[in-house]
Amino acid sequence: MNYEFRAPGDAGKTPVFSESNVERTLSDYEASPASLRLALVMVALSLGMFLALVPFARQALPPANWFIPLYEPVIVMNDLITMTLLFGYFRLTRRSEILVLGCGYLYSAVMATVHLLSFPGVFAAAGLLGAGSQTTGYLHVFWHLGFPIAIIAYSFLKDKHRRVIRRGPPMAWALLVTLGCAALLSLLAVYATDLLPQMLRDNKYSSAFNIGRYGQWFVTGVALAVLLTRRSTSALDLWLAVVLSAWFFEIGLVAIFNAGRWDVGFYAGRFYSLLASSFVLIMLLNEHNRMYRDLASAQAGARTAAGLRESREVLRLALQAGRMGVFSWDLRERRAWWSPELEHMVGMAPGTLAPEPDALLNYVLPEDRDALREKIDDCFRNGVECSVDFRMRNARGDLLWASARGVAQYDEQGKPHQVFGVIADITDKKLGEDATAELEERFHTLANEIPQIAWMARPDGWVAWFNRRWYEYTGLAPEESEGWSWQSAYDPALRPLALERWRFSIATGAPFELVLPIKGADGKYRQFLCRAVPLRNADGNIIHWFGSNTDITAQSEAEQALKKADQRKDEFLATLAHELRNPLAPIRNASELLSRLSGLPHNVERALTIIDRQSRHLARLVDDLLEVSRITQGKVRLSKKRVSLVDCLTDALHAVEAALKQAGHEVSVHLGDDPLYADADATRIVQCFVNLLNNAIKFTPHAGTIEVYAGRSRGRAQVSITDSGVGIAPEHIKDIFGLFAQVTPALERSHGGLGIGLALVKGFVELHEGSVSASSRGLGQGSTFTVDLPLCEARVQEEPDVPLVSQEARLHPRRVLVVDDNLDAAASMVALLHEAGHEVREAHDGREALRAAFEFEPEVILLDIGMPEMSGLDVARELRRRVGLRRPRIIAVTGWGQESDRKLTRDAGFDFHLTKPVNHTELDVLLSMEPAPPRPPVRH
């Protein structure tokens, strides 16, 4: 592709610029015709003055010592400036000939300086350097020989184009060599003048010095000839030729045609040389400035050309990337220009599409051709930009979609005479639009068939679309639903909450989820789970929201039914436990009372043991039933502290010691020395171990073996209980910890139990972030239960255990009031307390209890909760309210034992809560405690 952008009249005005222009110097820069003419004039004038002065060169003039310091410093300054300019060129180009020429000017400046300082009679009679009478003459010869030699070397090196690659040392060596030569020749002329031929006699040149006089003139002529024979047209060579010409004429006047010092040739040659060198320096600086102006202009032009090339390349890449082509029509001449990209789109090689405006119409499909012509003509008539999509088939037979945009230029009569435009291949876009339309149709079909309500919203929350299910359910019209109008279908009471949550999601991008009632077309509300998630683009910006409303009315009603059933189940279990504990309390009390009597017949003692064991078993079943209910509901709260699992296991073994003896089992205990400290609820852990031990005792035949092991493995505690019992079938292993799990049918079981003991173990162990597992080699092969619990790193200081009760505490008498509407429970408790030495009164309802409390003034009140007319809670509140009554210790003794019941007793002013049947050891501890100090009455 080749685009030309050239303004009329620009040709030839911009200097040529190339990569090498940045390294051009005056040695490469061509002298202008004006400079060439000025140089010829200068040489001609010099020649004329030389010829005019030669006849008078020997005429003597008075000595003028002031002339030398006026003339030579200017020469030195001119040489140093030129040297600096040349060394600058060398640093830029690294060309050896420039370095040699710069050293030549340095040599000339040094020799001129030494010549000035050694000239007799200027600063001192013999010069500042103490020179002899012929020192200055020889210095003049050495000076005027060295500079032409440098120009000869420059001329020969220039054709070889040698570059000094290394930086620094080559230039330093050149300077040292130049200064060394100048110093050596200066020393020879100043301090070894006696070794040289006599030069002057009475200020006149001697015949012996003619070799030096004519030698420098000859060398200068040779240098000029060598420079001119190179036919160089550079500005530097041109003005070097002028310098050498002036140098040649100066030597002729000063050393050839004059007689010696202080004659016309002496003065005229030096004055002429001063003017010539100054003029040449000025011209060199002028040429230098002109070169840099042209270079700057060339660089600007190059930047412009580079910008145009870059713009053309960007345009080419943009057209290729966008699959576009450009065109122009000249309607007057009926000519057209098509870009290579457009020709490629048509399937033709560049330059092969006919240069006619109608050439492209031949590729447009016939059914679109007339519409395209009509559209173009309409745009011409109305003077507007034309934009049209059409189909075309390229030369390869491919079907394309094209989009054309064009603008026309109009003449004075308003007729279009030129058109510029662009045509883009939009086939992929059209195919994508068709695919998108198909996907959108599929989406709407799917969305309208799902049972949920679906909707979409803009990033600002404006709802723009609902599926058909919304309109069917709500009976609203689209205009009543879009935007924010959907609020009318939601429950007014929850509408502010819905708006608040929705606006929060819009602001933060967080998903929206809320259960809301939506009113149907029948006016009834149903519960819907409303959800919405943001759909984001690749940059993470939200492009729209997609939401759904799922009717969960049936699920909500089922959940409510389950909650009510669960509540009724809890109430049933609590009532069942209460009703079972109430008859158990007098049975346990009577059993405890009889066990304290001595001299009972053997069969009576045996009956008491059976009653005590079975009542305890029944009480444990009731407790387990309530515990597993709390675990399944997540209502269990653990009281964790650092405890020794070995101590917990020891306590469990003591708790089942009587059962082990009765079963005749042999127990092997392996606890080791590691206390196995864990962050645990000691009561629950002991309960787990007791359940596992009872399980092993129950399912192991008489005189079996039980092995208990506790140890550490990989930083965790491993407690295992292995028995030689009935074992577990492999198919039952996975179900053994299930609630109410039994491995044999009910009619075949000879061992009691509800099948909840192992479920309790699993629940409590998992609450401690542990696990429990069972293994067995099969029926009749025994089984092993292993508890795995996390351990603590180190033991912390623990509070000492409080002894349960002492003998003195059990014998310390208290005034005790027993309040219970169950006459058997009250009577049996009174009898037990009387037997223990306490002074006891009893009451059977709330009002009787209040009267007895004021009359008897008890230290301890054992108060039942569930009583007719006035509950135990009301009695406790009334007792705490009355100021005059000495504060008693109120202990709840009740069949209600859930956490909610305990909270009620705490709030009512009870000090302790015991469940029936009462643990008499725990009761003795509470009775032995010293009375609490009086505190202000509780206000209700």
C-alpha span between 169 and 24 (Å, rounded): 23
Question: Per-residue pLDDT tens for 441-469?
Answer: 887 777 777 888 998 999 999 998 898 88
More confident residue, 796 or 221: 221
More confident residue, 86 or 910: 910
- Residue 2's pLDDT is what? 39
Question: Per-residue pLDDT tens for 94-114?
Answer: 888 888 888 988 998 898 888
User: Minimum mean pLDDT among 359-373, 621-635, 763-777: which range?
Assistant: 621-635
pLDDT band at 926 (very low <50, low <70, confident <90, very high): confident
Question: Per-residue pLDDT tens for 855-867?
Answer: 898 999 999 988 8
- Residue 209's pLDDT is what? 67
Tell me the pLDDT of the chain averaged across its residues: 81
Contacts of 207 (CB under 8 A, 6+ apart): none
- Residue 346's pLDDT is what? 86
Q: What is the mean pLDDT of residues 503-532?
A: 92
Contacts of 728 (CB under 8 A, 6+ apart): 736, 743, 774, 776, 778, 779, 783
Amino acid at 725: G
- Residue 7's pLDDT is what? 33
More confident residue, 452 or 159: 452
Question: What backbone phi and psi angles, to 5 degrees, belong to 698?
Answer: -65, -40
Contacts of 194 (CB under 8 A, 6+ apart): 132
Q: Classify 709 as helix, strand or coil.
A: strand
Core vs surface per residue 218-238: b (16+ CB within 10 A) or e:
ebbbebbebbeeeebebbbbb
Q: What is the mean pLDDT of residues 545-556?
A: 89
Is the model's pLDDT at 647 over the cut of 70?
yes
- Residue 4's pLDDT is what? 38
Is the model's pLDDT at 586 over the cut of 90?
no
- Residue 776's pLDDT is what? 93
Q: Classify 146 as helix, strand or coil.
A: helix
- Residue 293's pLDDT is what? 73
More confident residue, 6 or 46: 46
Q: What is the mean pLDDT of residues 593-619?
A: 73
C-alpha span between 60 and 260 (Å, rounded): 9
206-215, 573-582, 617-626, 641-650, range with greatest mean pLDDT: 641-650
Q: Exposure of 853 by Cβ count < 10 A (0-12 exposed, 13-18 middle, 19+ buried)?
A: buried
Q: What is the mean pLDDT of residues 828-833?
A: 88
Question: Per-residue pLDDT tens for 300-344?
Answer: 777 777 777 777 777 777 777 778 888 999 988 889 999 888 888
Contacts of 830 (CB under 8 A, 6+ apart): 818, 840, 842
pLDDT band at 295 (very low <50, low <70, confident <90, very high): low
- Residue 195's pLDDT is what? 76
Beta-bridge partners for 545: 457, 534
- Residue 741's pLDDT is what? 53
User: Minimum mean pLDDT among 736-745, 760-769, 832-841, 876-885: which range?
Assistant: 736-745
> Is omega for the bond preceding 675 within 30 degrees of 0, making it cis?
no
Question: Per-residue pLDDT tens for 907-923?
Answer: 999 999 998 888 888 88
Beta-bridge partners for 719: 710, 787
Asked if residue 872 lies in contact with residue 904, where contact means CB atoms within 8 angstroms, the answer is no
Map 327-372 to HEC letters. EEEECCCCEEEECHHHHHHHCCCCCCCCCCCCCHHHHECHHHHHHH
- Angle at CA of residue 620, ends 730 and 789, nearest 5°: 55
DSSP annotation of 195: G
C-alpha span between 102 and 82 (Å, rounded): 8
Question: Per-residue pLDDT tens for 781-798?
Answer: 999 999 999 998 755 444
DSSP annotation of 16: P
Tell me the percentage of the chain whose pLDDT exceeds 90.
22
C-alpha span between 714 and 675 (Å, rounded): 16
Asked if residue 690 lies in contact with residue 617, where contact means CB atoms within 8 angstroms, the answer is no
C-alpha span between 471 and 476 (Å, rounded): 6
- Residue 298's pLDDT is what? 66
More confident residue, 574 or 41: 41
Q: What is the mean pLDDT of residues 242-267?
A: 78
User: Minimum mean pLDDT among 17-21, 79-83, 230-234, 538-542: which range?
Assistant: 17-21
CA proximity to 252, closest of 439, 30, 52: 52
Q: What is the mean pLDDT of residues 867-893?
A: 85
In this structure, the chain runs to a length of 940
Q: Classify 933 as helix, strand or coil.
A: coil
- Residue 10's pLDDT is what? 38
Asked if residue 581 lies in contact with residue 601, where contact means CB atoms within 8 angstroms, the answer is no
Beta-bridge partners for 241: none
Is the model's pLDDT at 37 over the cut of 50?
yes
User: Minimum mean pLDDT among 55-64, 292-301, 669-678: which range?
Assistant: 292-301
Q: What is the mean pLDDT of residues 858-882?
A: 89
pLDDT band at 722 (very low <50, low <70, confident <90, very high): very high
Is the model's pLDDT at 936 over the cut of 80?
no
Contacts of 119 (CB under 8 A, 6+ apart): 65, 68, 127, 131, 136
User: Minimum mean pLDDT among 8-17, 163-172, 266-275: which range?
Assistant: 8-17
